Amino acid sequence: MALRPTAIRSVLARQILDSRGRPTVEAEVTLANGASGRASVPSGASRGAAEAFERRDGNPDRFEGRGVLGAVAAVNGEISAAVVGHGAVDQRGLDSLMRELDGTPELSRLGANAILAVSLATVRASATALGQPLHWRLADLAGVTAPTLPMPMVNILSGGLHASRGMDVQDFLMIPMGASTYGQALEWTLRVRVAASSLCEEAGLPTLLADEGGLAPGFADGADALLLMVRAFERAGLRPGEDVAIALDIAASSLTDAEGGYVFHRAGRVLDSAAMIDLLTDWAARFPIVSIEDGLGEEDWAAWPGLTQRLGHIQLVGDDLFATQADRIDRGVREGAGNAALIKINQNGTLSGTLDAIAAAWAGGFATVISARSGETEDAFIADLAVGVAGGQIKIGSVRTSERMAKYNQLLRLEEEGFAFAGFRSLHAANA
């Protein structure tokens, strides 16, 4: 069969290992004209129930059941047979074709990890074929005319499932909101990270790394972690609340018990939804907190509007709540559940579906935060995505370990192209 130059000629997947040493899928897509693209898929620990399905082999003899040879075989067999000959420039058509081939809403038959690897590798191949850098190709697919550099939201202290539940709250992050360039934001972040590390050391607390490269001091009371954040800002010579502020990822779904209560193991208490809102309101009053992610659980739709009413003057991000699904974000907009959406490509399962989720957030006046997972690879795709779609903010983890630095460094390269820096205050209006 004679193929058009930009048609897919071959698809090849393999099993590689992520930053936790767990298997994940990598795919290579080659077009008839020889252009090719490669991409790999991240993996979360605090996984939302509404996420696209991550297919694992379940064979206890290999990688504790976490192998992805089944997903790899799906790419090399069924998916390859269906997509070879398909035009790579028609990304949406390709993504729909794979979704239909799978036939399930959560992509559980072939595996979202199989489909996403092909989806992302294809856009890299088509960018090459069109002579475009990836971020511009993504901008075109998203209908964005002015890419921007995102404001980083950076993990400093870790708890929850990323640090053996040493603290109840999963992420204590910083936003260098007073920085005027991405480069300055990154430099301030490193200063804070170093200061936090020495404060831990001086207090006799561990300085070993959690899953995303953050520190894991293991405070029983979240307020102590918040205090350490403020001290780290001050030691870095930055003004808390002006130069730099705090963001939290409570990851409340991973605290939920069978009755819907929020179990703070380390603090030794169980909070109902109202008490959780009170706790977050108290913290936001006492500390310079400008963003809270998953302050309530993914099933707690009834309580989310109350959280938004109390704390809607700051950013309230839905991660597990929305799971990067446009219909869940639409529901959040309708019901007043938060005012921002976390965007994780593998929660959705295709590039086009991810772009739809971003569009749904903006249509509802919600901000977006393009996010990595706790299990990452050296693939810096989300850095190009955040810039190309002008996502506004990016959450990569801490400024340690190469699977994280690959993204921060890609943003440094993209900064050379002179894109505007998103800043923080323009958030909610940014994409209207």
Catalytic residues: 212, 344
Instruction: Annotate each residue in 302-341 with x if it binds Zn ion (CB under 5 A) or - if it does not, as one string.
Output: -----------------x----------------------
Residue 308 touches which of ligand PGA, Zn ion, none (Cβ within 5-8 Å per kind): none
Could you say whether residue 168 binds Zn ion (CB under 5 A)? Answer: no
Q: Which residues pair with 341 in a beta bridge?
A: 318, 368
Residue 29 touches which of Zn ion, ligand PGA, none (Cβ within 5-8 Å per kind): none
Query: For ligand PGA, which is the closer residue by CB, 45 or 209?
Result: 45
Query: For ligand PGA, which is the closer residue by CB, 148 or 374?
Result: 374
Could you say whether residue 298 binds Zn ion (CB under 5 A)? Answer: no
Applying CB under 6 A, the residues found at the interface with ligand PGA are 44-47, 170, 249, 251, 319, 371, 373-374
Phi and psi angles of residue 404, each rounded to the nearest 5 degrees, phi first: -85, -50
Pairwise CA distance, residues 116 & 347, whole Å? 10
Query: For ligand PGA, which is the closer residue by CB, 134 or 317?
Result: 317
Q: How far is the CB of 225 from ligand PGA (least distance, A)?
A: 16
Q: How far is the CB of 377 from ligand PGA (least distance, A)?
A: 13
**Which residue number has the CB closest to ligand PGA?**
44
Query: For ligand PGA, which is the closer residue by CB, 254 or 273?
Result: 254
Tell me, by CB under 5 A, how many residues bind Zn ion.
3
Instruction: Annotate each residue in 204-243 with x if it binds Zn ion (CB under 5 A) or - if it does not, as one string.
Output: ----------------------------------------
Query: For ligand PGA, which is the closer residue by CB, 26 or 211?
Result: 211
CA distances to 59, 311, 365, 377, 388 from 432, in Å = 48, 21, 6, 33, 16
Cβ-based neighbour number of residue 181 at 10 Å: 13
Using CB under 5 A as the binding rule, the residues of this chain from 345 to 374 that contact Zn ion are none
Q: How far is the CB of 382 from Zn ion (least distance, A)?
A: 14
Q: How far is the CB of 330 from ligand PGA (least distance, A)?
A: 21
**Which residue number has the CB closest to Zn ion?**
319
Q: Using alpha carbons only, what angle is made at residue 355 by residues 349 and 359, rounded to the nearest 5 degrees? A: 135
Query: For ligand PGA, which is the closer residue by CB, 30 or 43?
Result: 43
Q: How far is the CB of 43 from Zn ion (least distance, A)?
A: 14
Q: How far is the CB of 216 from Zn ion (least distance, A)?
A: 17
Residue 56 touches which of ligand PGA, Zn ion, none (Cβ within 5-8 Å per kind): none
Could you say whether residue 51 binds Zn ion (CB under 5 A)? Answer: no
Residue 374 touches which of ligand PGA, Zn ion, none (Cβ within 5-8 Å per kind): ligand PGA
Q: How far is the CB of 332 from ligand PGA (least distance, A)?
A: 16
Query: For Zn ion, which is the closer residue by CB, 6 or 374?
Result: 374
**CA proximity to 354, closest of 145, 112, 157, 104:** 112
Q: Kindly tell me which residue out of 54, 211, 243, 249 binds Zn ion, with binding defined by CB under 5 A.
A: 249
Residue 193 touches which of ligand PGA, Zn ion, none (Cβ within 5-8 Å per kind): none
Chain residues in the site for Zn ion (CB under 5 A): 249, 293, 319
